[in-house]
Structure 1
Amino acid sequence: MIQQLNLKYCVVGVMMMNGVVYAVLMVQLLAWRSSAVVVSSVKCIESERQALLSLKRGFDLTHDDDWLSSWGDGEQQKDCCNWEGVTCSNHTGHVLMLHLQGDGYTRGSISPSLGELHHLKYLDLSGHHFTHTPSIPPFIASLTFLTHLYLSFCSFGGNIPPQLGNLLFLEYLDLSSNNLVGGFPLQLTNMSSLTYLDLSHNSLNETMPPQLGNLLSLEHLDLSANAFTGTIPSQFKNLSRLQYLDLHYWDKTMSLSSDLQWLSELSTMRYLSLPRVNLSGASNWQQQVSSLSHLQHLDLHGCNLVDSVLTSSLASTSLSSVDISNNSLRDASLIFPWLMNSTRNLVTLIMNDNGLTGTIPETFGDNLNSLEELNLANNELKGQIPLSLFHSCNLAWLDLSNNNLTGEFHEYIREYSRCAHKPLQILDLGWNEITGMVPDLSQLQSLQELRLDNNRLNGSIHEGIGELSNLTELSLGNNFLTGLISEAHFSRLSHLGTLDLSHNALAFNVSVDWIPPFNLTNIYLARCKLGPDFPTWLHTQTMIDNLDISCAGISSTVPNWFWERLPFMMYLNISHNRFPGKIEDPPIVSYYVFVVAFDSDPHLSIDLSFNLFEGPIPAILSTASETFLSNNRFSLANPFLCANLTKSMRFMDLSNNDLRGELSDCWRGFESLVVLDLSNNQFYGNMPKSLGSLRNIKSIHLGGNNFSGKIPSSLHNCTQLQIFYAARNKLSGTIPTWIGDNIPKLLVLSLHSNNFHGNIPLSMCNLDELRVLDLSLNILSGSIPKCISNLSAMATQAKSNATITHDYHYEYRDGFSRTDSEVSGVYNDSASLTWKGKMSKYGSTLGLLRSIDFSSNRLTGEIPTEMMTLIGLVSLNLSRNLFSGHIPSTIGQLKSIDFLDLSRNHLSGTIPSQLAQIDDLSVLDLSYNDLSGEIPLGTQLQTRDASAYAGNPKLCGAPLNNTCPIHGHQISEHDADGDDDEQFVSEGFYIAMAVGFVMSFWGFCFSLILKKSWRYAYFKLLSDVYDTLYRSRWPNSKGSDLKYEASLHHHAYHEDESRTLLQFKQSFVITELLLVAWRPCDELKSSQFFGEVPPQISHLRNLLILDLRSYFEYILPNPINKLQLKISTLRSLIQNATSLEVLRLSFVTISSSIPDMLTKHSST
């Protein structure tokens, strides 16, 4: 009798059958059911019983003893027709069906005895790992009466046996989720009865045969997740019964393509999925899709679709699910009308990553009120989010992230609150320009993920958010939120796993013994005020993967229990606080339990930079793959470097500490290292030879130490090196020739301030990718090699890619799940370089530099003319050498040069006239040479300070006082006393020029005093100059003595400007919560200021100009100014600052309407 009937695929089949077939099937099922209840005296055939026992012996049942326990030789087990999973004929006793679907854990092999079940019609062996049967056994083809064959998830490899084509009665064939390779055997196209074919999730990699079109009975065809090439056969048009077609392609190479001309013939199609099939040639794809009147599901994501042929008049009235994401459908005015005309029954619409431009129609939500999922993320949509979207009371998933959309968030919540049923589970509006407050969200009880990060939300967060008991993710980072965060904000958030409140002016106000209801996995609270004490509630969070509490104002010690959890984390950032003291190594068992017992290679990124940690660097930190410990007070590196607890470290930054002693020779354990920065410490002695074992290293920074001796020759093995910075040490010997021969990818080489001697090696000319070469302040001699013109990277203009980046990709072992995971990303490198005589650190602009500095050596000979072919050079410093000869006449070719210093050499001859044609030249120094003749005419040369030409007694002309000869001879004293009529410039000329200047100057000044519009225009011009002229007055100003101007324009970061702004803050008496973001954290270096303008600013009675706007307000879509100004402060400022003439507050949040008194101000 029937023990088990597998109806796994009957649902799809029945849905797709017509009425007659459906009735026949039901009669068969009823007949089977009737025969099942009749106890037949017919028992199973003994030969078939033995075949089944042989099949059982092929299974490894150690993990599940109960499975197939009914199969045996016991007295009660004689009749195999009563065995689990076996169905026999009640008339003949032959085995007809085997339902042996596995659970994914059973292993073993398929016994050939299976071929003796000659009457078998139904065989399901899916879900077993037949590791001892590497390919599909051909003897299965001997089961000629099979109608259903299911062999999915069986770990089969090899080709599909062509013998399966002999199964002429086969209706269902499922070989999915194996490792099959090769192509589609032509013999399979003989199976004319086949209605269901699933070969998905294999590695079939040949072309699809046109004979697939011969399978005229096919209703379900799934060839997805393979690697088919070529085009989809046009013979697909013959599959007139096809209702389900899935060809989605995982390979990004898009080797499978189609023009879709066959599609309109498949009138019964209900489900069409062609992701990553190249449809760039399907110019009429919209018409083809619209012709399918029964189509319900359409998935064409990543198909290279374009909207050039779209029309809004077409309609696809049956569609309920549409995914056309990751294409180039850019015109929202064409896409949205087509979808709105198509159907009101659309449930799922996915159009992310298309580059969509334009606005979302105001009635979009009203037309599609059945929507449950809408994804328009990662486009270029602008304008207001229509309120109608929140009229869709069925909406469960809304993702509009990463656009330029605007609107008031609290208004959307107010609209949605009118819905009686609120199924919204995921709401993602992140990375837009949404404004407003975070209102009471307690009604959204289904909400699971709320992402509003990187918007312009302001005000405090309503405590009602703590009532969302199903919330798993809360992301409100990078907004303008202010106020206190209390325990009430989290009262019922027991399922919360991700919390992001970073980069807001929020302060936590929770009790010391607070135990949160959640156990977080991801915590991002950068810039939130958590200190001064370490937040004790973190002790209860035992599942942390990612933690960022940087810039949190914490100044207490880190508890020991915290470090014990370090190996179990993936990301830790506690930088830019004031954590003091030593870090004690936790019991080493904490690490070995993780690595040894769980067989894990952890991925951990640690950032402890900019704190006050001291003492030895603990060994436990070497478990990380990325370690950033710069700007602390660590004094000993050896325990950390030689612990060798893991070989997975990729990035190590120990710069700007107090590390002392010789550098340990322990680098053979760091073969994965990509970036090493040990600069600005107190290491001494020789560089260890084992540094040469860093075969994957791309960036080495050893500058600012006391290393001595030679550069170890083992470094020639570091063939991937791009940045080598060893300046400011005591290195000696000659510059190794292998640098040019073995390190061809070098971009930055800085060896300045050492004791290198000898010539510049000719092999240096092999570095055709070199952008920065600094050999200054050494004892080098000889001449500059003429082959220096081979430095081709300096012979081209710098591209827009200003950052030197290092891509990384690696796998690591997850000890808990025992699976391999992948990590990839980009590291932005930086380097400390000398620019215009000042040491500066370059990061985002490092890639733009093209610089050569050979200054302060003993180089001789002439400056090679070949150097003038390096037209990309931005800086050239050859000063303080022994160069002779002329300045090359072709120096004008260096059109990009900004800094040129040839001073203190023995150069002779005239200054080339081409030098005056270099427009970008801002610094020029030709002093202390033996140059002669007239300084060429041109504002670039005449307007410079005379010191640029000092020490050249034979030079003449402006700006020097030494006038040049007229008509070829020097002006004598007799000539000077001669007739004025013979002179071009007389004494009267100078008197007239002085009088004219005085009159013009005071006329201009009186005009500014008397005419307000002129005065405003003049001050506007001054304020728009890149370096504000008045900034130098801030540092020394105190309280009400600050006069004239206060400007907070946002420039690109310069470290001295950052210090100046901090001093400006300190010049006021500021209460605790004001300007909370004005502290020296890493984000301050981007000049992202927020907080409240202090009321004490109104004490500046002599203020003429107050400018709080952003320089980027007309460039950036989301201005970075985040200042807030109370109306009372503005009113006091207007009353007290009676001399105020220019007030700029664009993009500053003002708490109320502009006071009338502002319009009546006499001078503004």
Structure 2
Amino acid sequence: MDMLQLSCSQIAIALLLFTQVKSTTEETFAQYPNGTLTKCITGERSALLAFREGLSDRANLLSSWKGDDCCRWKGVYCSKRTGHVVSLDLQGTHRGSGNGIAQVLAGNISSSLLGLQHMRYLDLSRNRFDKIEVPEFMGSFHKLRYLDLSFSWFIGRIPPQLGNLSNLRYLNLEASYQGPGYFLPYSTDINWLSRLTSLEHLDMTGINLSTIAHWLPVVNMLPTLKVLRLSACQLRSSPDSLPLSNLTSLETLDLMGNDFHKRSTPNWFWDLTSLKHLDISFTGLYGPFPDEIGNITSIVELELSRNNLVGMIPSNMKNLCNLEKLGYYRNNINGSITELFHRLPSCSVNKLQLLNLPDCNLTGSLPTTLVEPLSNLTWLDLSDNKLTGHVPFWIGELTKLRTLYLNSNSMDGVMHEGHFSGLDMLKDLVLSDNSITITASSTWVPPFSLALIHLGSCQLGPKFPTWLRWQTQVFSLDISNTSITDMVPDWFWIAASSVQFLNIRNNQITGVLPLTMEFMSGEEVDFSSNKLTGPIPKLPMNLTRLDLSRNNVVGPLPSDFGAPGLRTLLLYNNTISGAIPASLCKLRSLELLDLSRNNLNGSITDCLVNELSTNMTGLSIVNLSLRNNNLSGGFPSLLQKCPQLIFLDLEDNHFLGTLPAWIGEKLSSLSFLRLRSNMFYGHIPVELMKLVNLQFLDLAYNNISGSIPRSIVNCTGMTQTRHISYDAFTSQFRFDENELVDYTENFMVLTKGQERLYTGEIIYMVNLDLSCNSLTGGIPTEISALVELKNLNLSWNNFNGKIPENIGSLLQVESLDLSQNYLSGEIPSSLSALTSLSHLNLSYNNLSGKIPTGNQLQTLEDLASIYIGNPGLCGPPLLSKCSSQPEPIPGNHADASNDAVSFYLGMGYGYVMGLWVVFCTFLFKRKWRVSWYSLYDQAYAQVAVTWASFRGKTNG
């Protein structure tokens, strides 16, 4: 419910003013019937036509503006006595008509309107006069009593010439943010308002008044003011009091969305005892719930939401005998819900229409009975609290209730037909995230027709609740995680055909997707984590999001997906087979595509690229996961047409060949690249390091050779902190206030020696994994510049040389694995500076010297295994002590014997090393295990023979 919409009382004020203007003796006006004696003035007709010339009227709102008598034109009203135009009502609408064209006027407002000097009423609201300022000449209509320019996309300064309209009673300049590149209108001086001494209604919502500190004294000079709306005006001050208040007639005060950031009391508005409507939500007020509220006995609507008020509502609220609406969303009552109900004014309990108390830290159970029935209550929202116990039976007695939100509490018990028996007018039923069991007989026909049904995590199963079949006007349906283990009945697909937001995820629902699915109205559909089978049918035309993951869907992908506006397609964890069809390229709006863990095969051929040849903009894909399939061929050329790609996961397929240089040029937005467990070979292209946003690179378990490019330091995603925020409205992550990423699937990362599960937090993971390849050369010192790394794995390669001395610069690293290489020299002492380190593996290298100690190195688990396979290392935690004796003289006989031992140990170690490389590959390539199993036997036999031979020689 939008508390900012015009209330009935406000509409009444506007109509009253309109009527007052119409009833003026000289200027009573109407659009003339046939036979009238007086027609419109010729000069005024010419002024209107000149005004129309400056407008863009795509919706033909002014199509009636023809002929001699302008008093017959749409929106034009004339005085019955004089024929002068006294009213111009050209209000538009942004909602659009059936043909998709918004019913608005645009363009420029011509000064020819000055020819209408007898005008009393002017309404140009809800049009689209973007990129122009409110004309200064508006201040020249001295007889004007009603002026509405709201929601018409004006920019720039509000002209102070409006202060010349001394007869004005109604002024509405409300603006609203219209998206990027739009700047709200502003005013740096509102002293001109003080001259509007007849003003009764003032609305400047959204106008930037941030530079005006002393706004209240100006407003206080308007003694007849009844309605004052200064919502979201970026005001920063709210005085404690007014020495002499002239606002004794004020009935409506809306200051929502300003940042006063002060204690809730004292404040000047608590002294306005004639107020009926007060909205001070989102104003940064803090402190206790103010007792002064009990003095405003005339109050009808009280909105205090989204502040930092604490404590139970005061007992003197019982004085508010006219209270109809109470909004207290997201404050901290931190008390019993029963006590709160006791403190509601009993004298107005039969008037109360809206009780909006979500996220207020309310505790306890709802009272089992009410002293006085809430007979007029239409809106009850107690969601996101800490309520326990059962839903009381009196809920079913709220016969005028339209909206019931009890979701996100800890309520339990059973709700049955009796709880709903009197709710004939109910439209929104939201009970999600409780432990409530809902039972009803299979023959029960509900008394209501719901538009919103959210019952996620309640107990509905095991059978499909048959009462849903009677809900044929549902807009949003959520029965996810409700223990349904039934087959989808045919009636459900019929009932759900008009649902736009449909969620049945995380049940054990069986059945086949209907062939009629394309005729459904669904925009966002979530069938994930069920047991649905069969092929994917053609999708609904309006569909933007489909989640069919974790089901038993089979067959090939459809040759015609339908759904041209599809943005999210999640099909992972099914048994979909066949090739990826060219029809995928027709989904030009697709941003998130996850086909992982299926049986897709074949190569992603160039025919898909040809499909895009006529569209230079390519695909819109941001997140693409094809991992754990049987796809083959080279690195997909299709990706050249995906310039917005940020996530790319091709893990565990049969892709082969070299990595193309164009990755660094065509995929400039790429941040996450995982090509793990494929058959890529060749060098890491230097061009790959042009991906400045790259923060996750996993090339493990391939046959990549060559060295690590020193230009890896250019990947600032690994060297600098990225600012990542979450957009709750779109459920997307935003990188550096620029790129949006929607990532929903679980993401496994090999780190700290084991696979770890990441979900949305994967965006914070900075990872470099090049393990199990054939990389050579030294570890470049530039690697130490990647200071944001959390996981660095270079194991099972052929790196030699020393560990970079400044490795200790990687202060964020949690897991460091350099094992199974040919690294030599001492372990850098800077390693002890890695205070975030929780996993370290330097085993099976040629490292020597004393093991560094201190800080995090002493807390690691299984310390000895970290350094095993490095015969030259000494000191704790190894048993071998570091000797200060000089090196043995070359040629010594004992050394010759030691050389022989080292030779055979080296030979055996080499075999083991090679064997483990194969094992490392087999671990992730099960298809290679069988075909290479005999090689394992031969290697094992060779190691055994060598070891036996060595032992024979040493014993001899």
Q: What band does the TM-score fall into relative to the shorter chain?
A: 0.7 to 0.9
Aligned 1:381-530 pairs, distance under 5 A: 381-389=309-317, 391-416=319-344, 418-419=346-347, 422-439=350-367, 440=369, 443-530=373-460
Change (3 A) 1:397 1:110: same
Residue 683 in structure 1 maps to residue 600 in structure 2: yes
Paired residue type of 2:227: H
Q: 1:387 to 1:156 in 2, by over 3 A?
A: closer
Q: Give the counterpart of 1:111 among 60, 63, 66.
A: 66
Match of 1:614 among 512, 533, 538: 533
1:486-635 equivalences under 5 Å are 486-580=416-510, 582-586=511-515, 588=516, 591-592=518-519, 602-619=521-538, 624-635=543-554
| Aligned equivalent of 2:851 | 935
SS of residue in 2 equivalent to 1:887:
coil
Report the alpha carbon displacement of residue 251 of structure 1 after superposing the two structures with TM.
4.1
Aligned pairs for 1:32-43 within 5 A: none
C-alpha contact 1:723 1:747 (8 A) present in aligned 2: yes
Letter in 1 for 2:377: L
Which of these residues, 651, 671, 678, is aligned with residue 588 of structure 2?
A: 671
Equivalent residues of 1:585, 1:619 under 8 A apart: no
Q: Are the equivalent residues in 2 in contact too, given 1:246–1:273 (CA < 8 A)?
A: yes
Contact 1:681 1:705 in 2 (8 A): yes
Tell me how far apart the structure 2 counterparts of residues 545 and 825 of structure 1 sit (CA, whole Å): 27
Please report how far the alpha carbon of residue 433 of structure 1 lies from its aligned counterpart in structure 2 after TM superposition.
Answer: 0.9
What is the correspondence of 1:778-789 to structure 2 with a 5 Å cutoff?
778-789=702-713
- Take 1:518 and 1:566, find their aligned partners in 2: how far apart are those partners? 17
Aligned to 2:875: 957
Partner of 2:643: 719
Aligned mate of 1:268, from 192, 198, 217: 198
Task: After TM superposition, list the pairs within 5 Å mapping 1:337-352 onto structure 2.
Answer: 337-341=267-271, 343-352=272-281
CA distance in 2, matches of 1:698, 1:257: 41
Cα drift, residue 608 of structure 1: 1.8
Q: 2:801 aligns with which of 885, 898, 903?
A: 885
Q: Alpha-carbon deviation of 1:934?
A: 1.3
2:3 matched residue in structure 1: none
CA contact (8 A) 2:92 2:126 kept: no
Q: TM-score, normalised by structure 2?
A: 0.80
Secondary structure of the structure 1 residue equivalent to 2:681 = strand
Alpha-carbon distance in structure 2 between the residues aligned to 1:391 and 1:559: 54
Match of 1:245 in 2: 171
From the superposition, tell whether residues 673 and 260 of structure 1 become closer, same or farther in structure 2 (CA, over 3 Å). same
Does the CA contact (< 8 Å) of 2:93 and 2:126 recur in 1? no
Question: Alignment partner of 1:424: what SS?
Answer: coil
- More displaced stretch, 433-442 vs 508-517: 433-442
Unaligned runs of 5+ in 1: 1-6, 34-67, 69-82, 91-95, 97-103, 116-122, 129-135, 158-175, 595-601, 810-823, 971-1164
Rounded Cα–Cα distance in structure 1 between residues aligned with 2:625 and 2:261: 45
Find the counterpart in structure 2 of residue 329 from structure 1. 260
> Secondary structure of 2:191's match?
coil
Decide whether aligned partners of structure 1 residues 621 and 838 sit closer, same or farther in structure 2, where only a CA change above 3 A counts.
Answer: farther
The aligned counterpart of 2:742 is 827
1:126 paired with 2:74, answer yes
Distance 1:390 1:767, change over 3 A: farther
Tell me, what secondary structure is at the counterpart of 1:757? strand
Give 1:493 deviation, angstroms.
1.0
The answer to whether the 8 A contact 1:896-1:920 is kept is yes
Secondary structure at the counterpart of residue 558 of structure 1: coil
In 2, distance between residues paired with 1:393 and 1:282? 37
Q: Is the 8 A contact 1:805 1:827 kept in 2?
A: no
Q: Does 1:905 align with 2:821?
A: yes
Deviates more, 1:442-451 or 1:504-513: 442-451
1:791-813 CA-partner distances (Å, limit 9, x unpaired): 0110013546489998789xxxx
1:277-292 matches, within 5 Å, as 277-292=207-222
Q: RMSD of the TM alignment (CA)? A: 3.6
1:393·1:419 contact (CA, 8 Å) conserved in 2?
A: yes
Q: 1:618 to 1:237 in 2, by over 3 A?
A: closer
Q: Deviations over 1:597-618 (max 9, x none)?
A: xxxxx55222222222234344
Structure 2 residue identity aligned to 1:246? N
Matches within 5 A, 1:927-1006: 927-944=843-860, 945-966=863-884
Query: How far off is 1:782 after superposition?
Result: 0.7
CA distance in 2, matches of 1:433, 1:666: 51
AA matched with 2:361: E
Q: Secondary structure at the match of 2:412?
A: strand
**Distance 1:309-1:563 versus aligned 2 partners, 3 A rule:** same
Q: Distance in 2 between matches of 1:248 and 1:409?
A: 38
User: Which residue of structure 1 lines up, in the alignment, with residue 227 of structure 2?
Assistant: 297
- Distance change >3 Å, CA 968–CA 294, structure 1 → 2: farther
Q: Determine the C-alpha separation between the residues in 2 that align with 1:623 and 1:240.
A: 52
Partner Cα distance (2:72, 2:877) in 1: 96
The CA deviation string for residues 674-716 of structure 1, in whole angstroms up to 9 with x for no partner, is 1111112222222355665570111111111221222221221
Instruction: Identify the residue that residue 152 of structure 1 maps to in structure 2.
Output: 89
SS of residue paired to 1:406 = coil
Distance 1:637 1:332, change over 3 A: farther
Shift of 1:925: 1.0
- Look up the equivalent residue of 2:288 and give its one-letter code: T
User: C-alpha distance in 1, partners of 2:741/2:701?
Assistant: 34
- Report the counterpart of residue 932 of structure 2 in structure 1: none
Whether 1:792 aligns to 2:708 is: no
Deviation at 1:13, TM superposition (A): 6.4
Aligned counterpart in structure 2 of residue 12 of structure 1, from 3, 13, 17:
17
Distance 2:887 2:726 in 1: 52
Output the TM-score relative to the length of structure 1: 0.66
Bigger CA radius of gyration? 1
Deviates more, 1:925-934 or 1:565-574: 565-574
Instruction: Please give the residue correspondences for 1:1-400 in structure 2 after superposition, counting only pairs within 5 Å.
Output: 11-12=16-17, 25-26=24-25, 84=33, 86-88=35-37, 108-114=63-69, 123=71, 125-126=73-74, 146-153=83-90, 179-183=105-109, 185=111, 188=113, 193-204=118-129, 205-208=131-134, 210=136, 212-251=138-177, 253-307=183-237, 311=241, 315=245, 316-334=247-265, 337-341=267-271, 343-364=272-293, 366-389=294-317, 391-400=319-328
Matched residue SS, 1:410: helix
Cα shift at 1:396: 2.0
Match for residue 699 of structure 1? 623
The aligned counterpart of 2:922 is none
**Residue identity in the other structure for 1:323:** D
- Residues 778-801 of structure 1: CA deviation (Å, up to 9, x unaligned): 011111111111101100135464
Partner of 1:1078: none
Structure 1 residues 14, 612: CA separation in 2 closer, same or farther (over 3 Å shift)? Answer: closer
| Distance across 2 between alignment mates of 1:803 and 1:106 | 38
Give the whole-Å Cα distance in 1 for the aligned partners of 2:356 and 2:726.
Answer: 32
Q: In 2, Cα distance between the equivalents of 1:180 and 1:398? A: 39
**2:693 is matched with which residue?**
769
Structure 1 residues 258, 126: closer, same or farther in 2, change over 3 A?
Answer: farther
CA distance in 2, matches of 1:379, 1:287: 25
Q: Aligned-pair distance for 1:387?
A: 3.8
What is the letter of the counterpart of residue 107 of structure 2?
V
Distance 1:453 1:390, change over 3 A: farther
The Cα of 1:752 is off from its aligned counterpart by: 0.6
Q: How far apart, CA to CA, are the structure 2 residues paired with 1:858 and 1:86?
A: 97
Deviation, structure 1 residue 281: 1.4
Inter-CA distance 353–664: structure 2 relative to 1 (3 Å threshold) = same
CA distance in 1, matches of 2:144, 2:770: 76
